[in-house]
Amino acid sequence: MPRTGVRPSIAHFVLDSPPSLSIVAAVPDFFTLDDLAAWTAPLSTLSPPARLAVIGDPIGHSKSPQMHNPALRACGIDAQYVRVRIPAGSVAQAFRLFAGRGFTGVNVTIPHKFEALEAVDVLDPQARRLGAVNTVAVRDGRLHGFNSDGPGFLRSVKEAFGVEVPDLRVLILGAGGGAGRAVAVQCALEKCPRLILVNRTPEKAESLVHELKASGSVTHVTAVPWDDESLRGVLRDADLVVNGTSLGMKPADPPLLPPASLEARHRVFDMVYRADGQMTHLGAAAREAGAAYIDGATLLLHQGAISFEHWFHMPAPLEAMRAGLRAALLS
């Protein structure tokens, strides 16, 4: 439901009032690698038991527990989802500890997605193509690595805009690595009619262009410089604008696009969201132009649903997850 004063075309992920939910008993904001290694109270004595986690550094801001714990309750699964701060260089150690402690799965966020790629036992072909792992399922003691960035992006676009990616000309800001790269590869695999890559380091975007052309996944892919003149030019040939950078999470972050360059016909997908529930600069620009817009909370929801499906081999209770995430964004 849009916020008061936001045009109906703006799909901003908040509610007028939080849903009635039973919230999991209070636990620390996050646990640490030492907690996981020692396996002492309170981590080892949680009820329901800790069986799922999200790792990153920092990690205390993550809304994933508020999304996944309602899903576990809705499905009658006796497990709890927690945050664990893991320092760079310790992902493989953490994964082995999770497996040894009886965990079912782990989500992976910044800065560990590339390290996780090398730390799993079995790598899903999609994750290999997208170049990162953000979901791990523990099966018979072996670590299976998946990537939900690309598939979550496809589901989010369909839900928010009512169209499929193969029908859209896509411009991606920050296509050189991370989620932006994953979305670029996914768009190429979907054979969108035009793919425009923009990155602060032009060499990274050019390298990805060569890679995609060599793979035969897409026929019309280009890289353009990140400057106002170039962006104004390519925006005329784009239907969907994607922010794959981390810019937008902080109020002081600079704008991504030239002023008044968006049009009402554009669809705008911001892969980040503000922890305080406020709209990003890109969202404000989309609202000013009358363009349809969603922020990264929608992507987080669908990524979470895909993770749930990998862990439990059953459909995710999407509405329970949506309600939990909305409530978390209001708190």
Known catalytic residues? 113
Fill in the amino acid letter for 45: T
Instruction: State the alpha helices, DSSP H only, in 15-148.
Output: 33-38, 64-74, 91-100, 113-119, 125-130
Residue 182 phi/psi, 5-degree rounding, is -60, -45
Contact residues for 158 (Cβ-Cβ < 8 A; gap 6+): 164
The pairing of beta strand 80-85 with beta strand 31-32: parallel
Q: Is 310 helix (H, G, I), strand (E, B) or coil?
A: helix
Q: How far, in whole angstroms, is CA 307 from its chain's centroid? A: 11
Which DSSP letter does residue 206 get? H
Whether residue 235 contacts residue 289, with contact meaning beta carbons closer than 8 Å, is answered with no
End-to-end C-alpha distance for the chain, whole angstroms: 16
Alpha-carbon distances of 161 from 63, 135, 183, 329, rounded to whole Å: 24, 26, 16, 22
